[in-house]
Amino acid sequence: MVRRFPLLSYFVLAYVISVATLIVLGPPSLAAGGSRDFRSLAAFPLMVIWVGACGLSLTALERGRQGLRDLWQRMRRARVGVQWYAAAILIPPGAILLVLTLLSRLVSPAFTPGLYPVGIAYGVVAAFFEEIGWSGYAYPRLRSRFGPLPAALALGLLWGLWHFPVVDSLGAASPHGPDWPAFFGAFVALVAGLRVLICWVYDHTNSVLLAQMMHASSTGFLVVLGATAVDPGQEALWYLLDAAVLWSIAVAVVASANMSSTPPLRS
């Protein structure tokens, strides 16, 4: 089954945990008020670890020890130019700071960036496990079948929707109540744009490590720098503008790199 339908197997397994979490937690409430659901915060690490375990297990089942060795090589330090490390680490916080600084000066002080350094740990854990699945397993196979840009777009959308059960506990303004649909849409747009950039970095480095670093930078700095005084509607706004910045960068790099026709690298 895995050898015949590797992508289908992966996404079915990845979404099993997402659907199970939704069943346990129930759909988000659109009522105003309420308090953060800490069950969601507890479930999210399980989802993250599950996705990594799926990528690791399917790699072993499909390609055996050679596949695991190859995955390990892609998770080690990449011998590429420092500009790729800089892009992976600096683009996400640069976009966040640009959006929040402009909004805090032009719209409201509520958008002033926060400073919660421990947030980096959240990003590192999420990125380490998730990218074993998304970049280590799923993306190379999607790319081989559909090409780099369609694969990146599809994976970005699937990755964003995978967060559905827990997204209302993300951000500083949780729960989002009536603004949840706007926040969820902005969140999906943000992570989809980020995924295109992660795939761009991966295509040029063949490095799961750099994909992990970019993912960790984004998730970590959304926590570290997130505006803590915003209301749910304001949070949806700044996430949407952050998504717009990331998509602008994505369009620029895709156009310059001609990502739509980049020949597939080995998986």
Give me the residue spans of the domains in the chain: 6-261
**Number of residues in the chain:** 267
The closest alpha carbon to 254, from 243, 262, 266, 263, belongs to: 262
Contact (CB, 8 A) for 125 and 217: no
Contact (CB, 8 A) for 176 and 30: no
Alpha-carbon gap, residue 32 to 166, rounded angstroms: 18
Can you give the pLDDT at residue 37? 86
Helix (H) or strand (E) segment spanning residue 261: none
In tens digits, what is the pLDDT along the chain, a chain of 267 residues? 777 899 999 999 999 999 999 999 999 999 998 888 889 989 999 999 999 999 999 999 999 999 999 999 999 988 899 999 999 999 999 999 999 999 999 999 999 999 999 999 999 999 999 999 999 999 999 999 999 999 999 999 999 999 999 999 999 999 999 999 999 999 999 999 999 999 999 999 999 999 999 999 999 999 999 999 999 999 999 999 999 999 999 999 998 876 655 444 444
Alpha-carbon gap, residue 153 to 260, rounded angstroms: 11
Can you give the pLDDT at residue 258? 65
Q: pTM of the predicted model, to two decimals? A: 0.94
Can you give the pLDDT at residue 175? 95
Contact (CB, 8 A) for 196 and 254: yes
Can you give the pLDDT at residue 169? 93
CA angle 210, 215, 220 (to 5 degrees): 125
Can you give the pLDDT at residue 257? 74
Can you give the pLDDT at residue 266? 46
Tokens of 202: 């991966």
Can you give the pLDDT at residue 14? 97
Alpha-carbon gap, residue 6 to 140, rounded angstroms: 11
The closest alpha carbon to 212, from 63, 85, 25, 107, belongs to: 85
Alpha-carbon gap, residue 175 to 197, rounded angstroms: 29
